[in-house]
Chain A
């Protein structure tokens, strides 16, 4: 079964840091591009970051650029999101999602269950 499991969320003060992890299983992780998507409480989905299968190509949303760092370890089938200089507006459930690339475009499937990061004093 293809599965993604996030961890690492929690309560942190403004200006603090968190490192989120996403453990992949049931597929060849090193063959797939990966993404982080977040959802603030009661709000919609916001794409956060993308990393290519090899880790050489990375993109960020403007809202997190310079503060967040995406990375992966293909030997451990794991995806990471290092979040620094956290703000209250970064409070959200963070999902990792596998990107599928076929002839009819690209899409996210599956998604993990999400991990909640709360930034508050």
Chain B
């Protein structure tokens, strides 16, 4: 199975900050990497697929990059509604493993 490792596990940031979350795969997954946002008590929501393609309706302050084993989710200017937990997921092979999550909290 492909292991997905996110860092950091949590971070504190202020509104307007630039935030970067990293996801590393245990083997190359090309660009088969997705990012999801989950708010407390809610289902995950797709943000980015194919490592860098923004899902329709997702604000442009979110962006994704990377290929192979190293990927990044960037929020260019953190907004109050962005405080949530973010998960990466590989779709290169089954099982479709997730990272352990990164919780973005208010500083």
Contacts and interface: CB of A to CB of B under 8 A. Distances in A.
Interface residues of A, number: 22
Contacts of B87: 44-45
A47 B95 contact: yes
B100 to A, nearest CB: 5
Interface in A22-75: 35, 44-47, 50, 59, 61
Nearest to B1: A62
Majority DSSP secondary structure for residues of B touching A: loop
Interface residues of B, number: 27
Contact of A45 (B53, B55, B94, B101): B101
Nearest to A63: B95
Interface of A: 35, 44-47, 50, 59, 61, 95, 100, 102, 104-114
Closest 5 CB pairs of A and B: A104-B50, A111-B43, A106-B91, A105-B32, A109-B46
Interface of B: 31-34, 36, 38, 42-46, 49-50, 53, 55, 87, 89, 91-92, 94-101
Given A47-B95, A47-B98, 13 more contacts: A95-B43, A104-B49, A104-B50, A105-B34, A105-B91, A105-B92, A107-B34, A108-B46, A108-B96, A109-B55, A110-B46, A111-B45, A113-B42
